Structure formats: C-alpha cells, structure tokens
Amino acid sequence: MNPQSTSALEVRHLTVTVGGRTILRDICLSIGRQEVFGIIGPSGAGKSTLLRALNRLLDLNKDYHIQGDVALYGKSIYAAHTNVDDLRARIGMVFQQPVVFPVSIFQNVVFGLRHQRKVRRSEWPSVVERALREASLWEEVRDRLDHSALQLSIGQQQRLCVARALAMNPEVLLMDEPTSSLDVKSAGAIEALILSLKATRSIVLVTHNLAQARRVVDSLACIAVRDGVGEISAAGCCGNILAGTPTDLNLIHMETRHVG
C-alpha cells in the first residue's frame, strides 16, 4: 500500500473496446479508502465491464482491449510486471449470483488460499474463522464446516462467497449487484455486511437499487449511454446526486440502449 496515495483506486481515462466496438469511454473515477463507492446506470451501460476492468478479469477474454489505466494505491495495475494473481487477491470480487463449489464450506473458503499457496495449511482454520466472522456467517456454520456448501440458503451462499474473497485479505472488494438474487432479509444482511466491511476496506458496489444506494453508498458514479457507449454522467456524494431522484433508475436522464 502506498501511504502517499489518497485514493484506494483511481481510474484514469479508461476506455474499453470489444471486437472493435467501444463499451466504455474515457472513464475517470477516484475511489477513496474505507468508503463504499457505488456505480449505477441502466442495464447494458457497461457497469459490470467496468468492475471487471478494476482487477483485470477482462484479461480472461482476449477480445477486450483496454486504454487508459487503473491505479491501486498509486501504482498501475496494468504495468507489465504486475502479478495478476496477487492483484486479484488484493482486489477481490463477489458476483451477482452466488458461485459456490460442490465441496465443503471449509474448502470453499480456502479455495483461493490453496491456489495462491502463500498461507500454510496449518493456518487455514484460523483464516477460515476470521473470514466467516467478517462475512457474518461463522455462528451459522461453525459446527458444519465439513458439510456441503450447496446445503446453504442462497443468502448464506452469497455471504460464503464474500468470506472466500475475504480469506485473501483484500484491500478492495468489488461487488456486482450482490443482492439482486436475494430475498429482503438476506439482502439486508449483505447491506449490513457492506457497512461493516468499509471500516477496513474500500468497497465498489454496482447496484440497480437506488434505495440500496441511499442506504449504504458514500460516493456514487452514474454511467449514462450516449451513442451506444457508456460514459460517466455524474460522480460525487451519493446524497447530493440522488437528491430528488425518482426510484426508477431508468427515469434518470440516461439512454438505455444496450452496449454490453
């Protein structure tokens, strides 16, 4: 971590194209330390694409091309010497649908540790407990860590996915509409979790839910679609941007044409 950097992440004139088609254009953002930074916009505006550019998941699809840069604590994540596995440990991600493996709860949490091989196996139990506690799941599963993760409810599975990311001790956590598939109670648990996690980490949250944004987001960026390309239309304090905004996201002055 660079103590001189005032931001956790800085997005610098980022443009993303796929197959010669521009998805996002000239995106500039500054995501502060220990804050929840929200990203909203109509469906197809490129929000998920932006999120995946922040930890180089777009590298997995060679059709994507990146211009501009993203800096983590002042250092480019796209520099030639970057270890991408280490980067994705530092910038974790939770997806819209819970992605659990058909193995035990314990093995789900240590999946990344096993791959990275930087934590001794003897330390795994303490890491699992820490991660599950941070994800507010420990008390519910502590006596069945060897049970299949598939036996958990959908809400518990999503918190397990958060725990799996937290086991790597990330500095930034990316969350792509993490409550969209959950019931009201489970969504509330995830929102409470987000608020607790920002005490030690930066959170980047993509959401369609303006009420959710009002509840948990500190700073907010709105992506609009102009001529089929996603661009930042507004960014700043969440309360200021959403003051007087209707509850229907598509009623914000944004074009809703699909851009991928």
- Collapsed DSSP state (helix, strand, coil) of residue 198: coil
pLDDT band, residue 245 (cuts 50/70/90): low
pLDDT band, residue 75 (cuts 50/70/90): very high
pLDDT band, residue 257 (cuts 50/70/90): very low
Residue ranges of domains in the chain, CATH in brackets: 7-251 (3.40.50.300)
Selected residue with higher pLDDT from 118 and 87: 87
Average of per-residue pLDDT across 20-25:
94
Q: What is the pLDDT of residue 5?
A: 59
The total of other beta-carbon atoms located within 10 Å of residue 218's CB is: 17
Give the integer Cα–Cα distance in Å for 230 and 50: 10
| Token duo for residue 48 | 């998920």
Instruction: Check pLDDT > 90 for residue 215.
Output: yes
Instruction: Check pLDDT > 60 for residue 2.
Output: no
Selected residue with higher pLDDT from 130 and 114: 130
Strand ordering across the sheet containing 91-94: 75-76, 64-72, 7-18, 21-32, 229-237, 219-226, 36-40, 202-206, 172-176, 91-94
The total of other beta-carbon atoms located within 10 Å of residue 206's CB is: 20
Average of per-residue pLDDT across 39-47:
92
pLDDT band, residue 134 (cuts 50/70/90): very high
Q: List, in order, residues 6 or more apart from 135 with CB less than 8 Å away.
A: 159, 160, 162, 163, 166, 193
Give the integer Cα–Cα distance in Å for 130 and 122: 14
Give the integer Cα–Cα distance in Å for 220 and 19: 29
Instruction: Check pLDDT > 60 for residue 24.
Output: yes
Instruction: Check pLDDT > 60 for residue 258.
Output: no
| Token duo for residue 145 | 């860590």
Instruction: Check pLDDT > 50 for residue 252.
Output: no
Q: What is the pLDDT of residue 246?
A: 55
Q: Look-up: residue for tokens 């030639």?
A: 80
Average of per-residue pLDDT across 4-26:
91
The share of the chain scoring above pLDDT 90, in percent, equals: 82
Selected residue with higher pLDDT from 101 and 118: 101
Nearest to 223, CA basis, from 5, 11, 58: 11
Q: What is the pLDDT of residue 194?
A: 96
Q: What is the pLDDT of residue 4?
A: 56
The average confidence (pLDDT) of the chain is 90
